[in-house]
Amino acid sequence: MTAARVIVLIALAAVSATFVAITFGSKGGGGDQAGGAPPADAAARCRTDRPFGVNRWPPACWRPYSDQSPFNRRVPSRPRVHHDSAAIVARLTSWGPPQNLLAGHSGTDDDYFHPLYWAQPNDPVFRIRCVRFGRCPIEGHRIRIPDAASAAAGSDGHMAVLNQRTGWEYDFWQVRSKPAGGGDLVVSHGGRTRLRGSGLGSNATAAWFGLAAGVIRPAELTAGRIGHALFMHVRCSAGTSVRPARRGATAAPCRSFGLDNAGAPPLGARFWLDLSFKEIAALRIPQWKKTILAAMHRYGMLVGDTAGGNGSWGIQGESGASYTSFGRFDPWADVAEEFDVPRYGQGYVFPLTGDVDWARHLRVLDPCVSRGSCR
């Protein structure tokens, strides 16, 4: 993640497929059981047997990867807390409140979200070339990519291509060249992960998470439910990693910016909001924010990247380029208008600051929670 993204976020801070999820309805709705935990039969069945693509976008209840993926694993009712949780949370919150969610900005330098594209049998074929950090795991692979698909316009240049027929998700960091009609797709680096697998082992984010992992989609906020953990970025890392991040991955350690590594979050750390569903429902905040907080409680947030030694921490969304690349309307604008979210430049600001005492209610969970191996 680059400094350009951080500058934008600092400014803003100032102003598979079956799951159970707490639901907070649209602007006028109250959600299930007044915000309490959903009953056991509240699982929403998703149609994943049809092909996704342009104008056939995945429904709100869809999520990538298997139920056993760390991103789809629910936090237990009494989770084991990491032995250094208090110190890590204190360090995180000392950097400031969470960065606001900036959306509806596809095609601009502010777009650091992850666009997701669905490959079709008649799409042109591209051969992957990685030009940074040596050969990447997908060097020379030939895959189909929609001709109109474009990377996020921010300097991270992320792009994910999901293929239901092959079962692979291909992830790219810094797309440099994508010729019309096929040819060499030139990227800085990349990787792939199984759509029905763990969502791990790809190589377009620091933690080697798939680009579809943990992103908030507009349809989820409209529906009032998010059935997965959230992708989290932090100012800098402890220079270490824990599962489910790739062993040995560090992203940008705090020490590289003249800061102390002590107490900083390791890559892969799972942060958990200990507010109950009832407490979240009682907050006088917009429904979209209740939906996000409920996901932080039910599934948590997994640290997948760093922010160049600047900013504080934040979460990740699906880029509107997933839609606007094909000349379609950006659904983030619909969500913003539904919830009266203020404009910021060419996009919208979903303010995450205030309302929650993060220093009091965030916890870092033991890595065994992500592994499902706590005893």
DSSP secondary structure letters along 171-186 = EEEEEEE--TTSEEEE
Least confident residue range of 19-33, 40-54, 335-349: 19-33
Task: Dump pLDDT digits (tens) for 187-220.
Answer: 999 999 999 999 999 999 999 999 999 999 999 9
In the prediction, which pLDDT does 311 show?
87
- What pTM was estimated for this model as a whole? 0.90
Nearest partner of 235 among 91, 27, 101, judged by Cα: 91
Percent of the chain, pLDDT > 90? 81
Beta strands 183-194 and 168-177: pairing type?
A: antiparallel
Partners of 143 in beta bridges: 126
Tokens of 46: 């998703």
Q: Residue 346: pLDDT band by 50, 70, 90 thresholds?
A: confident
| Residues 213 and 199: beta-carbon distance below 8 Å | yes
In the prediction, which pLDDT does 183 show?
98
Confidence check: pLDDT of 41 > 50: no
* Helix (H) or strand (E) run with residue 161 in it: strand 159-163
In the prediction, which pLDDT does 10 show?
36
Q: Residue 1: pLDDT band by 50, 70, 90 thresholds?
A: low
Confidence check: pLDDT of 37 > 70: no
In the prediction, which pLDDT does 308 show?
86
Q: Residue 50: pLDDT band by 50, 70, 90 thresholds?
A: confident
| Residues 273 and 297: beta-carbon distance below 8 Å | yes
Tell me the Cα Rg of the chain.
Answer: 19
In the prediction, which pLDDT does 24 show?
61
Task: Dump pLDDT digits (tens) for 349-368.
Answer: 999 988 999 999 999 999 99
Least confident residue range of 48-57, 124-133, 224-233, 282-291: 48-57
Round the average pLDDT of the chain to a whole number and report it.
89
370 CB-contact burial (10 Å; exposed 0-12 / middle 13-18 / buried 19+): buried
Percent of the chain, pLDDT > 70? 87
Q: Residue 8: pLDDT band by 50, 70, 90 thresholds?
A: very low
In the prediction, which pLDDT does 27 show?
52
Beta strands 362-365 and 230-234: pairing type?
A: unpaired
Least confident residue range of 6-15, 244-253, 323-332: 6-15
Least confident residue range of 44-48, 156-160, 239-243, 329-333: 44-48
Q: Residue 332: pLDDT band by 50, 70, 90 thresholds?
A: very high
Task: Dump pLDDT digits (tens) for 66-101.
Answer: 999 999 999 999 999 999 999 999 999 999 999 999
Least confident residue range of 68-77, 101-110, 145-154, 239-248: 101-110
| Residues 57 and 219: beta-carbon distance below 8 Å | yes
Task: Dump pLDDT digits (tens) for 17-34.
Answer: 333 344 565 554 333 333
- 3-class SS at 368? helix
Q: Can you tell me the distance from the alpha carbon of 352 to that of 113, in angstroms, rounded to the nearest whole number?
A: 16
- 3-class SS at 5? helix
In the prediction, which pLDDT does 25 show?
57
Task: Dump pLDDT digits (tens) for 279-330.
Answer: 999 999 999 999 999 999 999 999 999 988 888 999 999 999 999 999 999 9
Residue 253, CB half-sphere, CA atoms under 13 Å: how many?
13
